[in-house]
């Protein structure tokens, strides 16, 4: 393990260094506690809790290696010391300790000992979370898979009901996909799916969540979007896909998609199956209407 010290405060602190026996005991307790979770945020919370009993600390902040996710515990303070946590497998992130009084050299030495107990449980937790995320990703399109959709839809329905906002779903099917595979091969079929997946993510908003539902079907969850807004997004997506020209091995394909829309029934409890059934029925009507079109609930009334 390599721990590269960044900013360190000048020695004006107040706590006495631990005795060798105390250091051994504190590290043993910390190591035991850190085995209780495989969640990175739980690991950091456990570490902070045990640290408080050893060195007075205002708060800690951990910036993950992706430079996007940050975990903050406790409160910010004027004085701080920073460590970059690295194993022989790579960089884990940066941890920042802060408090109102400056750190002395003996405290910094103790922190480094305690960080030795944190690094590998944290690495294991990050590995585990990464594995979980990969299990929810479709390897071809890099979108969420069906398991991820089930989890996200359950969560989004609960949030929509709790906060009384709209939620819509687009169910998207690539037209004549079997013919593409049969005529041009599965490699071309895969490329078509990848290009359509990229187009969906480009057209949809950052707040929308896209999944590969299976085979040639995709699903998009549209947060805070009513049926009219979903229709607008669906039509824009349909046009963008239809403008694609995908070329491979001397062949070119101009794909199209059919899209069915369902929107959460306002003012009543909705089940996952309800949204799926209505979107699937709307998609069926889109295909019956000749494909390369969008249909929603208003299109389902008998002629």
Environment class of 294 (CB within 10 Å of its CB; exposed 0-12, middle 13-18, buried 19+): buried
Q: Specify whether 216 is catalytic.
A: yes
Q: How far apart are CA 18 and CA 26, in angstroms?
A: 9
Q: What's the count of helices (H) and strands (E) in the chain, helices before strands?
A: 8, 12
Residue 26 half-sphere exposure toward CB, CA atoms < 13 A? 24
Phi, psi of 179, deg, nearest 5: -65, -35
DSSP 8-state code for residue 268: S
C-beta separation of 197 from 143 below 8 A: yes
Q: What angle do CA 291, 295, 298 make, to 5 degrees?
A: 150
Which listed residue (216, 217, 235, 240) is catalytic?
216
Structure token pair of residue 104: 């002395």
Kindly state the helix (H) or strand (E) to which residue 236 belongs, with its residue range. helix 227-242
Q: How far apart are CA 175 and CA 241, in angstroms?
A: 11
Q: Taken in order 212, 213, 219, 224, is the CA torsion positive or negative? A: negative
Q: How far apart are CA 15 and CA 100, in angstroms?
A: 13
Q: How far apart are CA 256 and CA 237, in angstroms?
A: 10
Contacts (Cβ under 8 Å, ≥6 apart) of 95: 60, 61, 62, 63, 82, 83, 85, 115, 118
Bridge partner residues of 259 (DSSP) = 172, 294
Please identify every residue annotated as catalytic.
Answer: 216
């Amino acid at each position: 393990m390599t721990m590269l010290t960044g900013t360190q405060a000048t020695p004006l602190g107040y706590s006495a260094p631990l005795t060798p026996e105390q250091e051994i005991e504190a590290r043993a307790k910390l190591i035991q506690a850190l085995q209780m979770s495989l969640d990175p945020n739980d690991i950091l919370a456990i570490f902070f809790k045990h640290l408080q009993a050893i060195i007075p600390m205002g708060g800690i902040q951990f910036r993950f290696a992706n430079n996007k996710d940050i975990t903050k515990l406790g409160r910010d303070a004027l004085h701080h010391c920073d460590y970059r946590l690295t194993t022989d497998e790579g960089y884990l992130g940066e941890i920042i300790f802060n408090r109102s009084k400056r750190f002395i050299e003996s405290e910094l030495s103790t922190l480094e000992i305690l960080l030795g107990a944190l690094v590998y449980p944290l690495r294991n937790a990050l590995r585990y979370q990464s594995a979980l995320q990969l299990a929810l990703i479709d390897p071809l399109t890099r979108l969420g898979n069906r398991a991820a959709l089930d989890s996200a839809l359950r969560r989004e329905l609960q949030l929509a009901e709790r906060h009384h906002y709209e939620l819509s779903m687009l169910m998207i099917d690539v037209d004549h996909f079997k013919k593409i595979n049969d005529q041009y091969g599965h490699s071309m079929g895969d490329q078509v799916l990848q290009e359509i997946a990229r187009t969906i993510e480009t057209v949809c908003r950052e707040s929308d969540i896209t999944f590969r539902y299976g085979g040639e079907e995709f699903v998009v969850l549209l947060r805070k979007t009513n049926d009219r807004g979903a229709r607008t997004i669906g039509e824009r997506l349909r046009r963008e896909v239809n403008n694609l020209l995908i070329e491979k091995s001397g062949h070119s394909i101009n794909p199209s998609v059919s899209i069915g829309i369902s929107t959460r029934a306002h003012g009543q409890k909705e089940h996952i199956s309800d949204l799926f059934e209505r979107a699937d029925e709307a998609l069926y009507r889109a295909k019956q209407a000749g494909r390369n079109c969008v249909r929603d609930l208003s299109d389902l009334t008998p002629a």
